[in-house]
Amino acid sequence: MAKVSDQLKRPFSYTYNVVVLVLLLIFVSLPKVNRMSARIVARRLGSKLLHRFAPAATLHSHATSFGFKEVNEEEKSQLVGNVFTKVASNYDIMNDLMSGGLHRLWKDRLVSKLSPFPGMKHLDVAGGTGDVAFRILESINSVSRRATEDTLEDDLQEETQIYVCDINPNMLNVGKKRAQERGLGDLGSLVWVEGDAEKLTFKDDSMDGYTIAFGIRNVTHIEKVLAEAYRVLKKGGRFLCLELSHVDTPVFKQLYDYYSFSVIPVLGELVAGDRDSYQYLVESVRRFPPQEVFASMIADAGFQKVEYENLVGGVVAIHSGVKI
């Protein structure tokens, strides 16, 4: 609870408040578009049929989804790379605007579920700008924790290592800058690594924890990422995944769809000057497997005690599993 109040005490800028008000006005005044849901359904059916009748021309590479488009696998990582190169500088502002500041609370919840401890070796994948890593480090180093600590743990504090892995060097650079601003830049505990989530360079059984926040829907092969996570974790290590997910409650679903498809790309255009990246974002959320399916994929990778928790009625879900 202390962390939430700390977040709230930080002053929000005046311009942020004005932009939020403008967004609300847009949201209320534009007419509701019913065609949207029909279009989504048609696209989903269309892509299902495409999978069945894919031409034999694509012999070695399989088709995968980039939003609602179908692309080759090699292309997908390149396209995703382009998206994040473009959004890296505005990534955090856009997160704040799109979620109304809620993403901070979601990441707080993820870290409190993780229950970090001193001496932990943790890997945060696709965590380019470092949000989750900073929270973990601050939770371990927090004053309230130090007050109740055993002397043994003080020594272990030195051994804490948080690895931040991201495929995109621009995102990592933004993260390193933010670390400096927060005063965490010179600690040896944060290690920035450029790498692919599907082929991690870490040894087997080396990590106590693995988190991936809003990254797993961008990968080409989800199963490979889960298998790598399983490989890299120690016995007893935990896998946690924070991701935008599917909403099922009737009225809220319509509101959420409207917000996603009408407001977010417009926001992307206004603030970041890039409508397509944010169109990709909302489409990739719809293409990602729903909560139950993803949970069964995690269980198939070998994890036990697989659970998920819906936040904001399913807009975001935290999936967790333990390697035994």
Partner 1 sequence: MMQRGRRLFQFSYYSYSFLRGKSNPSCSSSLIRTPFRFLSSNNPVDVDTSASSSSFIHHQHTTTDTSGGFNYQQQQARLLQASLNHVIRLGWTEAAMIAAARDLALSPSIVGSISSSSSSSPSAAAALVEYFMDQCLQNLIHIIQDSGDLQDLPPSHRISNLIKLRLQMQAPYISNWPQALSIQAQPSNISTSFKQRAMLVDEFLNASYNEQPTAPDWYLKRTIVAGIYSTTELYMLTDNSTDFEDTWIFLNERVRDAFDLEKTFQEVKYFAEAVGAGFQGFKNKGGY
The contact mask relative to partner 1 for 152-191 (x = CB under 8 A, - = no) is -x--------------------------------------
- Using CA atoms, how far residue 263 sits from 28, 233, 270, in Å, is 11, 39, 11
Q: Which residues have C-beta within 8 Å of that of residue 320, sequence separation ≥ 6?
A: 113, 238, 239, 240, 241, 305, 306, 307, 308, 309
Q: Is 36 in the site for partner 1 (CB under 8 A)?
A: no
137 part of the interface to partner 1, by CB under 8 A = no
Compute the distance between CA of residue 16 and CA of residue 8 in angstroms, rounded to an integer.
Answer: 14
Determine if 10 is a binding residue for partner 1 (CB under 8 A): no
Task: Report the nearest approach of partner 1 to the CB of residue 247 (Å).
Answer: 8
Instruction: Give Cβ neighbours of residue 135 (< 8 Å, ≥ 6 apart).
Output: 3, 107, 108, 111
The tokens for 321 are 């599993």
Binding to partner 1 by residue 271, rule CB under 8 A?
no
Look at the chain and count its residues. Answer: 324
Site membership for partner 1, residue 270 (CB under 8 A):
no
The H-or-E segment that residue 124 falls in is: strand 121-125
Element spanning 69, H or E: strand 69-72
Number of amino acids touching partner 1 (CB under 8 A): 43
Any binding-site annotation on 15?
Answer: no
In whole angstroms, the minimum distance from the beta carbon of 245 to partner 1 comes to: 10
290, 212, 214, 296: which is closest to 44 by C-alpha? 290
Q: Is 217 in the site for partner 1 (CB under 8 A)?
A: no
Asked whether position 309 contacts partner 1 by CB under 8 A, the answer is: yes
301 touching partner 1, by CB under 8 A: no
Interacting residues with partner 1 (CB under 8 A): 102, 105, 109, 113-115, 117, 120, 148-150, 153, 208-209, 233-238, 248-249, 291-292, 295-296, 299, 302, 304-314, 316, 320, 322, 324
Known binding-site residue numbers for S-adenosyl-L-methionine: 129, 166, 196-197
